[in-house]
Each structure stands twice: as structure tokens, then as C-alpha cells.
Amino acid sequence: NPPLEFPAQLVIFRAFKPGIAPRQPLPAAAEIIADSKVVGAFDKGADKGAVIVTETDIRLADSGDALCTLTSTTFARGDGGFGGPSDGAPKPHTIPDRAPDETIEVDTRADQALLYRLSGDRNPLHADPEFATAAGFPAPILHGLCTYGTCCRAILGSVADYDHTAITGFDVRFSSPVFPGETILVDVWKDGSIASFRARLKERDAVVINNGKCTLKG
């Protein structure tokens, strides 16, 4: 099947609701196989867009052992009105209605997006000021998955003393971009094997990740 393609200016986030369910620790080096499929497409209307849900199973090429399952929900602003169902997309996790148990402060660097770009994500939205402006932003934004990983590391240290094998699921909903150099405040609610979280910015009134859910081994 041909790859899905959307004009950059029509995609709010590449994956505004990413998630991962690890099956075992990732090896430092290995050949892997990734099997991806679209598991849902929801029509929010011609004037709104489409919600597309994909799922990717990653396994070792030699043994077939499962490594993790990735989920991704993408909102494409220009692709509504195709006649599909409007309801049925995964519902966001509910944050507890109480003060957070902990708030973790995490600094980002002014060159954070350029450093993260070395991982292979060379989307010009995160490095080219002219491209960022054309997409509707005043400056290049931090990669969503960099924000995702930054929050995951902060929560991992808070609830599992950095034991990465303790996490069995990590799901978020992006709500606003981070600009490199801003300070992320991660609010965490701890309830047994579930750590709910929300990330906001210290410098301005903006929530960047909402409805976060970190699932721990029981």
C-alpha cells in the first residue's frame, strides 16, 4: 500500500496521541521488523478534518520476539468529509480531580530540537524558521516525541527510580508545542500502578501534554 501523505501545513501534529506498550527491554543493536496497520479512520467533518489511528507491532527479525506496540493518533485538518464514522476514536485518559502529588521541573536547551534531530527526524518544522512560519508557528518547535521522552524520563525517575522495565504503557495527548529553551513542569498523580500526568510550561500559560497515563507493572 502507498504511504499516507498529508501537506505539512494541514497536520496539527504528526501524532497528537502517541503511545507505547513495551514487551521487553530494547537491545542496543538488532534487526527489527515493524508491522503497521490503520485500525481506525474517523470523519470529523469537511470543515474540521480526520482522525487516523495506526498501530505498529515491532519484533526482532531473527526470533520474532515482540519488543513493543506503538499506537499513533493523527489529526489531519484537510481530510474530513470522506463519509466515515465520526465516533469511536480512543477516549483520553482522565486526570484525577485533585492537586498533583508531585511536580517535576525539566529544562530544555535552546538547541534541543537540533540535538534531537540527530536521531533521524529531520522534519524542517523543527529547524527551519521559514518552514515553521509557513506552518503557523512563530519559530521552530520542539519535536513532540522529544517532549514525550522528556516527560517519560521525569516520571520514570519519580515513580520507578529509573527502572525502565517497570513501565508497561505510556500514553499522552499533545495539546500545545514546546519551543526549545522553555521549562516543562510535569504534574504527576500517583495511584497504584497508574501514574497520571500533565505537562505545562513555566514561562507561559500553556499545557503541552494532557491526559497522560503511565502504566506500571502491578
Q: Which positions are annotated as active-site residues?
A: 121, 126
DSSP alpha helix (H) spans, 61-172: 112-117, 129-134, 144-160
d(CA 213, CA 171): 5
Contact yes or no for 196/155 (Cβ under 8 A): no
Q: Report yes or no: 66 and 116 within 8 Å, Cβ to Cβ.
A: no
Asked whether the beta carbons of 68 and 58 are under 8 A apart, the reply is yes
* CA distance between the termini of the chain: 39
